[in-house]
Every structure is written in C-alpha cells, then in structure tokens.
Amino acid sequence: MCGRFTITVTMDELKDYLSEYYDIDDMKSDFVLPRYNVAPGQDVISIINDGSKNRVGLFKWGFVPSFAKDEKIGYSMINAKSETLQEKPSYRPSLEHKRCVILANGFYEWKKEEKRKTPMRILMKDKSIFPIAGLWSTFVRPDGSKLHTCTIVTTQANDIVSDIHDRMPVILTDETRASWLNPRITDYKILTNLLKPFDSKKMYSYQVSSLVNSATNDLKECVEPI
C-alpha cells in the first residue's frame, strides 16, 4: 500500500515542472509546499485532463464514491489495487472517466524487522517529482456541497520496494502518464496495461526517523537519512 508520501519542492520548482511536463502555466497559489509527510485525509496536488487541456488542483486523499452513504468511508479507500479496478463498482466508473495523477517526489513504507517496523523513504535517484496513477470522484453532501476525493492506485512492488513491502504506488512514465490522463482512452485492457511496477534501477531507498509515524509531524527532519 501507500499511506504516506512527500513532495519536498518549492512553489517555483512545481511551477517549472507543471509547465514542462503538463503545459500548465496557470497554477493556483493555494498549494502548501514543501510537504514532508502527506497523510490520508489531507489535500494532495493532482492533475486531470478535461478533454482539451491538463488542469491542476487539490483532491482530498481518501476515495468517496458518488453513491456512498457516509464520506468517512474515504479513510478506508486511500489505495486501490490495479489488478481489481475493473471488478470494483466503486472504482470502475472512475477508471473509465475520472483518472488523475498525484504528484510526489518520494513515499514512505515501513519495513518489518522482527518486532519493529522501520520507516523507509523511497524516491528517484535524481530526486525528481513523479506522477502517481490515481482515480477521483465527486461526492455530494446532504447540504449540496461537493467533495472531490482521490485514491492512489497500487501494484506489485519492484526490486527496490519488495525488500520493504509487497505493494507500491503505480508510478507513471512520460508515455503511460499521457495515456492515463487521456479521457478518450476508456478501454479497460489498455488502461490496466499501463499500471506496472516502475523501473527499480531508477529508484533508491533509505531509512528515516520514526517522526513520520505521526501524521502531525510535517517536518524536514522526516526526510533526513538515519
């Protein structure tokens, strides 16, 4: 699974990234950066394609299906397995029509070692921002207000992550990112074929402080190597 991640960049670095890779030049200014310990229930920086252009905004992390009876269900739907997306009534409509990418430059997993769990951070060797495959949904509350939420799609771990955990977020390449965001692609087979483990040769991991165990700690010390 993926329960925490980072996006430890400045606003200027994010603007440059969005302009270069997504042709987005009208970024909103209400993003809080850098983030050292992004947790479920918080807003995450996400990108969708509206059919003509890419758009960036915030989704609440924790998927709430449009037909849900209680929005609290989102806390149990922070991840969605790539292998079963088309089988799940909650995710199937979003797989076809509401796909997004969630921006990060690292994620945390806890390595089980005898009686303890050691927090590890996994990232690219060049420490770059990367796009995670996501699904989003809109839930209408009883008062008529709308809640936009998302989930992170996961897949089997690659060689770097498998020593820590058996699952990892689906990290998209330049090619698969474009296809995942393309609203004209609706074929399940094409879409699920995009959801593969990322090349482990481009990634590395290191141990971090137990500070990351608490979502209240969004500190630079969370990403410092132990």
Which residues are tagged catalytic?
A: 2, 109
Q: List strands edge to edge, sheet with 203-207.
A: 35-38, 4-7, 106-113, 116-124, 203-207
Q: Is the peptide bond before 34 cis (omega within 30 degrees of 0)?
A: yes
Take residue 18 and report the two structure tokens written for it. 């969005």
Take residue 5 and report the two structure tokens written for it. 């991640």
Where residue 23 falls (left for φ over 0; alpha for ψ -120 to 50; beta otherwise) is: left
Whole-angstrom distance, CA of residue 190 vs CA of residue 172: 14
Contact 148, 136 (CB under 8 A): yes
Take residue 206 and report the two structure tokens written for it. 């290191």
